[in-house]
Amino acid sequence: MSTRRWHTKRKTGCKNCKKRHIKCDEDRPNCANCQRAGVVCTYDQLKVPSPSSPAHSASPAGSTASTLVYEHLPTFDMLDLSLMHHYTVSTSTGLFAGQDSQVIWQEVIPSQAQSNPLLMHGILALASMDLARTRPNERQIYATRALAHQNAGTRLFRNMLEQLRPSDSHSIFIFSMILPLLAFAFPHACDDPPDFDGILDLFSLLRGCKTVWLLNPELVAASPVAQWIKTTITGHPIAMKPEVDRRFQILRDSLKDPADIIATDQLIDFTRGELATSPDGVANLGRWPTMVSDAFWLRVQNHEVESLLVLSHYSVVLGTPSYRWWSSNWDSILLQAIDKALPEADKKAVDWDYAAMMKFANSYRGS
């Protein structure tokens, strides 16, 4: 007769381990079991920093919303400490070009993050993604931690958006700048590129950020990050190369749906402006998806072939020389995803040519 091993029922540990009835090492934010399974831990009761800890040292006006939602998040651990170090000495210096950019991303934002869990999760997610791409043998560990911090930050972000406290405007605005970086960086932290619907999810994340800019425009405008964005626009709209202008005109003439036509006009204007921005051309890289109408975006989500053609021409912006790790190869990532998403019949109907589109995307590379 077999005997059942008696053990004391654990009252701690993550919910996933409890559900599976396995021992949890209670590492935060992801235990070893959840890291191996590639899932994010959730805990019934989590540690909350004491009143004397840095998380509570912010001014009362600026920390109310953050404190309310931080009580439902895990504390930071030794891996996060190493991520913070990597962010300050490496990741932050590779996000954008220029001394002003380095001051903002290496000094100002990390300083604010010390008393702001929302920003801390954002920069630790960036550091994790950076390490996931440069340390392939440890990619799963860093990719899992990146996802944990991105999810935790997004939960805080949504909570703050629901409360809409003016005192949180600065941190909400800064995190809305971090989210596009995370969206573009995500494929570089994974073994496989995202499929087309995965890319749409990332772009939808960008579209959700545009409302943040309208919450408290006066307060947001005073943010050091907002001032930095203004300085990245260094020129005036320029004339596009003849072959690029010609391809845009061919596209526009072939369209029938008003939403597609308007989105194309917006893309043409945006392309001219984007090619005259900061030296590395990435400061406003993700802005066009936030500009287009809901009607056009719905057509893209429904895989309407003409709308996908319009989206494919966004690759000329993604292909501009950037030399930033998080934005590199996105012209190829987008076009490959569209090429796989289009049925063969639709490709023939619109004379889809992947090689020609890649050449178009590279029109300004190295110019």
DSSP string, 272-324: HHHTTSSTTS-TTTT-HHHHS-HHHHHHHHTT-HHHHHHHHTTHHHHTS----
Q: Which residue has the higher pLDDT, 254 or 47?
A: 254
CA distance 211 to 320: 27
**Same domain, yes or no: 270 and 353:** yes
Is 177 domain-assigned? yes
Q: What is the three-class DSSP state of 112?
A: helix
* Terminal-to-terminal C-alpha distance of the chain: 79
Share of the chain above pLDDT 70, in %: 71
Pick the most confident of 190-199, 203-212, 299-308.
Answer: 299-308
State the Cα–Cα distance between residues 71 and 73, nearest whole angstrom. 6
pLDDT at 301: 95
189 with 295, same domain: the answer is no
What is the distance between the alpha carbons of residues 274 and 284, in angstroms, rounded to a whole number?
Answer: 7
Tell me what pLDDT residue 231 has.
56
Confidence class of residue 65 from pLDDT cuts 50, 70 and 90?
very low
Kindly state whether residue 288 falls inside one of the protein's structural domains.
yes
Whether residue 198 lies inside any domain: the answer is yes
Q: Identify the pLDDT of residue 215.
A: 61
pLDDT tier at 170, thresholds 50, 70, 90: confident
Instruction: Estimate to the nearest angstrom the gap between the alpha carbon of 314 and the chain centroid.
Output: 18
Give the three-class secondary structure for 14. Answer: strand
Segment 38-46 shows an average pLDDT of 57
Any domain includes 183: yes
What dihedral do alpha carbons 36, 41, 44, 47 form, nearest 10°? 100
Of the ranges 47-61, 187-201, 252-266, which is most confident?
Answer: 252-266
pLDDT at 150 over 70: yes
> Who wins on pLDDT, 230 or 41?
41
The last residue of one of the domains, among 231, 249, 272, is 231
Give the per-residue pLDDT at 72.
40
Residue 3: band (very low, low, confident or very high) from pLDDT cuts 50, 70, 90: very low
Task: Kindly state whether residues 54 and 191 are assigned to the same domain.
Answer: yes
Residue 27 located in a structural domain? no
In a domain, 75, yes or no: yes
**Residue 277 sits in the same domain as residue 132:** no
Higher-scoring residue by pLDDT: 97, 220: 97
- Average pLDDT score over the chain: 78
- State whether 297 and 336 are in the same domain: yes
Confidence of residue 98 (pLDDT cuts 50, 70, 90): confident
Going by pLDDT thresholds of 50, 70 and 90, the confidence category of residue 180 is confident
Ramachandran region, residue 235 (left: φ > 0; alpha: ψ -120 to 50; beta: rest): beta
> Which span out of 2-11, 56-65, 133-142, 258-267 was modeled with the highest average pLDDT?
258-267
Of 174, 199, 231, the domain-final residue: 231
Confidence of residue 283 (pLDDT cuts 50, 70, 90): low
Q: What angle do CA 334, 340, 346 make, to 5 degrees?
A: 110
Residues 107 and 178 in one domain: yes
Read off the pLDDT band of 2 (50, 70, 90): very low
Domain identity same for 258 and 224: no
Evaluate whether residue 37 is within a structural domain: no
Instruction: Give the residue from 231, 263, 279 where a domain finishes.
Output: 231
Closest CA to 177 of 134, 133, 232: 232
Residues 6+ apart with CB under 8 A from 345: none
pLDDT at residue 169 in the model: 78
Residues 220 and 241 in one domain: no
- Judge contact between 143 and 126, C-beta under 8 A: no
Tell whether the model's pLDDT for residue 63 goes beyond 70: no
d(Cα 142, Cα 315) in Å, to the nearest integer? Answer: 29
Please give the Cα distance from 318 to 321 (Å, whole number): 8
> For residues 87 and 225, which has the higher predicted lDDT (pLDDT)?
87
240 and 345 share one domain: yes
**How many structural domains is the chain composed of?**
2
Report pLDDT for 323: 62
Is residue 162 domain-shared with residue 245, that is, in the same domain? Answer: no
| 336 inside domain | yes
**Which amino acid is it at 232?**
T
45/223: higher pLDDT: 223
**By residue range, what is the domain housing residue 332?**
235-361
251 and 329 belong to one structural domain: yes
Looking at the structure, do residues 262 and 198 belong to the same domain, yes or no?
no
- Residues 137 and 122: their CA atoms lie apart, in Å, by 23
Is the model's pLDDT at 299 over the cut of 90?
Answer: yes
pLDDT band at 50 (very low <50, low <70, confident <90, very high): very low
Please choose, from the candidates 31, 7, 36, 35, the residue with its C-alpha nearest in 3D space to the C-alpha of residue 21: 7
